Amino acid sequence: MTEATAPLLATEIERSILEVAGVTGLFRSGSAVSKLLEAGEELVGGQRRADPLVRVERTDEGVRVSASIGVRQTSSSVDVLRLAHREVATLLASFELPVASIELTVVHVNGAR
Amino acid sequence: MNANEHRRLLGFDPEDLDGHTIEELSDYLEAGRVPPDPLIDESASCQIALEALERLGPLTQQLFAADTAAEAGADQGWVQRILSSISFDARAGRRIPIAPAEAGADLGITEGAVRGLIRGAERAAPGALLGKCTLHGDITEPAAPVSVSVEMSAPYGAAVVELGELVRAEIGAYLAAHTTLNIVSVDVVVRDIHRAPAQTENGT
């Protein structure tokens, strides 16, 4: 994986997670300060960049993926996370990429009915 | 009162809401979330706070008005306590591990998401409002015993015990579906009785 392909891979991972039943969306990861800085940079020019919210890093051990997920209240976060992990692992395997870690976190359970 | 003082009164700090203020979120809610603000829409903390404000919002003015009319000088602190607890709930807090089905998976849910979920249990008890919610125990340790305590304000004239039981049952069901925590108890403490029209099923 090159620096150039990382955003493309992140976009693919984002799409695979969003297709999992029960996922309502993806959120920014990191501290409040880092999220603000990141968002501020994106808003220069008045528009958000189309960069994915999933983080993908290349390390000596393999690819590290982290994503912050929203889940529908009527679903089960436990089931959704396990399904999403399987989808991401399958996707990385299809690219023959070694996996260092896949960290998925539910950060919001959407209670809207 | 300036914006900072107002924010402090309600227990909000910009850090809690990814740099946004409660006034901004209230305005955003009132405007029907349009035009869409990606900085708010992509912030889990903002979404948790917005959802809680959305449930509380229509009641707040009625509650203040009812309390003022019924009892001049009455303690209205419980409304502010609930608002403050929304801020606390919205913080991401600790990351609670979720037992993976496959080796190598690193799965979790934030404490903030769980508290927001727990607060949503008030929908099961029309008219009830949930305040401070606390998870006791080492929630970062799989299988460690965890107890939940939540404060509730019940509407005047309601069957308090039944309302409490409804909330307890709802919280238990939510936690079983969304976490793998070893929940040993769920305690609902009725802290206040408020005068207010009963909520409808959709929380308004």
State pLDDT tens for residues A43-82.
555 555 556 789 999 899 999 999 999 999 999 999 999 9
Given this model, what pLDDT does residue B204 score? 43
Of the given ranges (A73-82, A85-94, B6-15, B128-137), which has the lowest mean pLDDT? B6-15
Residue B187 bridge partners (DSSP): B149
Q: Which domain holds residue A102?
A: 6-110
State pLDDT tens for residues A20-29: 999 999 988 7
Does residue A30 register a pLDDT over 50? yes
As a whole number, the mean pLDDT across chain B is: 78
Does residue B198 register a pLDDT over 50? no
Does residue B153 register a pLDDT over 80? yes
Query: Residue A1 falls within a domain, yes or no?
Result: no
Given this model, what pLDDT does residue B3 score? 47
CA closest to A65 among chain B residues: B106
Write the DSSP string, A37-104: HHHHHHHTTSS-----SSEEEEETTEEEEEEEEEEETTS-HHHHHHHHHHHHHHHHHHTT--EEEEEE
Average pLDDT over residues B154-179: 93
Q: Which residues of B touch A53 (CB under 8 A)?
A: 42
- Residue indicated by tokens 């990814």: B18
Average pLDDT over residues B32-61: 80
Domain count, chain A: 1
State pLDDT tens for residues B77-120: 666 666 666 766 667 788 999 987 777 789 999 998 999 899 88
Indicate which of B16, B41, B42, B200 best probes the interface with A, i.e. most A CBs within 10 Å of its own CB. Answer: B42
CA closest to B90 among chain A residues: A108
Query: Residue A93 falls within a domain, yes or no?
Result: yes
Does residue B50 register a pLDDT over 70? yes
Contact A99 B104 (CB under 8 A): yes
Nearest to B42 among A28, A78, A105 (CB): A28
Percent of chain B beyond pLDDT 90? 29
Given this model, what pLDDT does residue A113 score? 45
> pTM, whole model, 2 decimals?
0.78
Confidence band, pLDDT 50/70/90 cuts, at residue B70:
low
B77-90 vs B111-119: helix crossing angle, rounded to 10? 140
Nearest to A107 among B16, B44, B120 (CB): B44
Query: Residue A44 falls within a domain, yes or no?
Result: yes
Contact B174 A103 (CB under 8 A): no
CATH of the domain at A83: 3.30.70.1350
Query: Residue A90 falls within a domain, yes or no?
Result: yes
User: Which comes out higher in pLDDT, residue A46 or B139?
Assistant: B139
CB B135 within 8 A of CB B144: no
**A18–B contact, CB cutoff 8 A:** no
Q: Which residues of A touch B43 (CB under 8 A)?
A: 27-28, 35
The minimum CA-CA distance between B99 and chain A, rounded to whole Å, is 8
**A15–B contact, CB cutoff 8 A:** no
Given this model, what pLDDT does residue B203 score? 45
Query: Residue A21 falls within a domain, yes or no?
Result: yes
Contact B104 A103 (CB under 8 A): no
Query: Residue A39 falls within a domain, yes or no?
Result: yes
Nearest to B109 among A28, A32, A105 (CB): A105
Does residue A85 register a pLDDT over 80? yes
Indicate which of A57, A72, A78, A103 best probes the interface with B, i.e. most B CBs within 10 Å of its own CB. Answer: A78
Q: Which domains does chain B have, with CATH numbers?
A: 3-89 (no CATH), 95-197 (3.30.70.1350)
Q: Who's near A70: CB < 8 A, 6+ residues apart?
A: A23, A24, A25, A26, A27, A106, A107, A108, A109, A110, B44, B47
Question: How many interface pairs between A and B have CB atoms less than 8 angstroms apart?
Answer: 119
Query: Residue A103 falls within a domain, yes or no?
Result: yes
